[in-house]
Structure 1
Amino acid sequence: MRRRVVAVTFEGFQNLDLTGPADVFALASLIVGESRGYRLDVAAVRPGPVTAGNGVATLVPLALHQVTGPIDTLVVVGGLAVPAHVADGELVSGISRLAGIADRVSSVCNGALLLAEAGLLDGRRATTHWLTAQELGDRYPAVEVDADRIYIRDGNVWTSAGVTAGIDLALALVAEDHGHEIARHVARGLVVYLHRPGGQSQFSTPMRTAVPRNEPLRELQTFIDGNPTEDLSVPALARRAGMSERHFSRLFTEQTGVSPGRYVERSRADAARRLLERTGHPLDRVARESGLGAAETLYRVFRRHWRTAPGDYRRRFRSKQT
């Protein structure tokens, strides 16, 4: 039978969070037939034009309080405006009510913050855009946040990573409803991966750490990031900082939130990533120039931090000008 999807929007939402999943469900309906496909209803606190963050307006026909069951899947979209809407009691309570009558509940991008505010993620594993992951964990400690996953299912609650990950989420829902072969046909039609390689950390910016209060440590961070091929062992760094190894390790970890060894490895991995994006150097040269030494180490570090291989990363992200 036809499955009903209800998408919740608000002023300033991310347009692709809505249209990406909508196109997945629409194409799936063409493939399996309208009687077995999906019906999409879009709702907001009030009906009428709702303008996305990119300026495109969607004519929303339903107010949240007008939506009744049955609902197969509730989709809460995200967007840069989400932080301003977390305090909107009418929106959050509407999401909570609809979740109670939906078979499945899902969010795209930082729409997870709205699910969390409604108490729907308490005690569950969840993901969100990598830029929002720390905020989600800090504001809602009852949520177990995995910042690297493209999407996560915990019971009947599905959460997805940033923006285009809503397409991955919708494909996974189609696969659950109609099987992987149908989902594969939809993915091929939309020219996207059915299962995207790696996690979303491969798209993130370099590791962010707290800025040390201690000026020698701030200078040391700059030195580490600018000199990946130097001796960056704890003894060498402690000497440069003018501290004992024990005191240096304790102070660095305390003021940055990561150990010296962890910081050095990620800094070198970021240097390797930049070389992969901007040069055509062979992997052994990338490993040497980033301070990682050997191609085997480069591969291992890349898999650990970004869940993908260096060669795969280069194929997706290398600048065409290099």
Structure 2
Amino acid sequence: MTRKVGFLIFPGVTLMDVSGPAEVLSRAPGYDIVHFSPQGGTVETSSGFAIAETAQPSLVDAASLDTLIIPGADLLPDQPWPDGLLDTAQFLISNMPGTHRIASVCTGAFVLAELGLLDGRQATTHWRNTRELAKRYPKIKVDHDTLHVHDGRFITSAGITAGIDLALSLVEEDHGAATARTIAQDMVVFMQRPGGQSQFVSHDIPTTVNNSIVRKAMDIFNADPQGHHSLASLANSVAVSPRHLGRLFQQEMGMSPGRWIEKMRLYTAQELILEGYSITAAARHSGFGNDENLRRSFERRIHMSPTEYRARFGTTFPEN
């Protein structure tokens, strides 16, 4: 049985969003890979490479698809939609067999979201854009950490190389774990990558703060990040009740004051660890106080220990 897999590409598409999953699928038996685009012809990717001979999809093309994959691009979601992208996606999806799979890589999830197809479903996208996806489309249950999310016939993945993880999951679904594992080994990638997106997040806290009370509370913390900052003490410092401060933070930052403080300390600790500070020094300077508090935060938020984090992200060169 041959399964036809169509990629819907467009000018400025991220090349790896296409080539990564396509490479996985090309190494598995029984896939016929086709490239569609709104206008057909040659399409230039974000890195300057061109994908030639893309086709404008027909009814026959749509009806024969087993899987549609919509890749992402840096231009999404902030710039205007590429000409014809939404209409072409809608055409393909409307004319596909109703039980067949629809997937997105990275910010390709915004295409599915704009068409209303992810309402009420779990979905993900690149970690830089999960907050925006949730804000624009509040009916979607956005997963901020998982590398790929399967919900019915819809499969969404995190950013760029997570398209490889998504494609391996498709191969496993179609051909079994052994086939997917062999491909992963040949491509020198994990069959199931350890951790989720959280390990890659550098700084996802909003930088623009409009509320003066929230801004003042943040300034108090930033002036002494190693100090003791409870909700009650911060609220007292800005002359509001703890409940009111918590509500303002939730409205402005999308999180509680305590969660914001932990995130700020965690980012500081990550930077210090990568700069070569010891775990103990990083814990002290970031405000966690001791190694155990730092370790617990790392395990809870990015699913690895500080030592593992240093080994994974510290340098591209092996340690002597």
The answer to which of 76-85 and 91-100 deviates more is 91-100
In structure 1, distance between residues paired with 2:127 and 2:247: 28
**Aligned counterparts, 1:1-322, within 5 A:** 1-28=1-28, 36-65=29-58, 67-83=61-77, 84-85=80-81, 88=84, 89-100=86-97, 103-209=100-206, 211-215=208-212, 217-225=214-222, 227-238=224-235, 240-241=237-238, 248-249=245-246, 251-281=248-278, 283-319=279-315
The answer to which of 213-222 and 57-66 deviates more is 213-222
SS at match of 1:63: coil
After superposition, the Cα gap between the structure-2 partners of 1:78 and 1:253, relative to the gap in structure 1 and judged at 3 Å, is closer
What runs of 5+ residues in structure 1 fail to find an aligned partner?
Answer: 29-35
SS at match of 1:4: strand
Q: Give how far 1:210 is off.
A: 6.4
Q: Give how far 1:213 is off.
A: 3.7
SS at match of 1:147: coil
Give the letter aligned to residue 164 of structure 2. Answer: I
The answer to which of 187-196 and 251-260 deviates more is 251-260
In structure 2, distance between residues paired with 1:223 and 1:173: 49
SS at match of 1:269: helix
Q: Where is the helix percentage greater, Structure 1 or Structure 2?
A: 1
In structure 1, distance between residues paired with 2:284 and 2:218: 20
Contact 2:124 2:157 in 1 (8 A): yes
Match of 1:33 in 2: none
After superposition, the Cα gap between the structure-2 partners of 1:243 and 1:114, relative to the gap in structure 1 and judged at 3 Å, is closer
Q: Alpha-carbon deviations, 1:200-251, whole Å to 9, x = none?
A: 1221232414644454643542452464322223344345446565665555
Contact 2:38 2:83 in 1 (8 A): no
Q: Give how far 1:195 is off.
A: 0.8
After superposition, the Cα gap between the structure-2 partners of 1:90 and 1:291, relative to the gap in structure 1 and judged at 3 Å, is same
Q: Normalising to structure 1: TM-score of the pair? A: 0.87
In structure 2, distance between residues paired with 1:288 and 1:134: 30
After superposition, the Cα gap between the structure-2 partners of 1:54 and 1:134, relative to the gap in structure 1 and judged at 3 Å, is same
What runs of 5+ residues in structure 2 fail to find an aligned partner?
Answer: none
Q: Alpha-carbon deviations, 1:33-60, whole Å to 9, x = none?
A: xxx4311111111221111111111113
After superposition, the Cα gap between the structure-2 partners of 1:226 and 1:98, relative to the gap in structure 1 and judged at 3 Å, is farther
Q: Give how far 1:19 is off.
A: 0.3
Contact 2:150 2:156 in 1 (8 A): yes
SS at match of 2:4: strand
Contact 2:65 2:97 in 1 (8 A): no
In structure 1, distance between residues paired with 2:102 and 2:243: 49
Q: Give how far 1:2 is off.
A: 2.4
Q: Normalising to structure 2: TM-score of the pair? A: 0.87
Aligned residues: 314
In structure 2, distance between residues paired with 1:256 and 1:81: 25
Q: Give how far 1:79 is off.
A: 0.6
Contact 1:5 1:39 in 2 (8 A): yes
SS at match of 1:85: coil
SS at match of 1:175: helix
Aligned CA RMSD, in angstroms, stands at: 2.6
Q: Alpha-carbon deviations, 1:273-319, whole Å to 9, x = none?
A: 112221151x3332222211232222221122223332222111114
Identity of aligned residues (%): 38
SS at match of 2:190: coil
Contact 1:74 1:98 in 2 (8 A): no
In structure 2, distance between residues paired with 1:113 and 1:250: 29
Contact 2:11 2:82 in 1 (8 A): no
SS at match of 2:312: helix
Match of 1:32 in 2: none
Q: Give how far 1:27 is off.
A: 2.0
After superposition, the Cα gap between the structure-2 partners of 1:205 and 1:4, relative to the gap in structure 1 and judged at 3 Å, is same
After superposition, the Cα gap between the structure-2 partners of 1:122 and 1:243, relative to the gap in structure 1 and judged at 3 Å, is closer
Match of 1:31 in 2: none
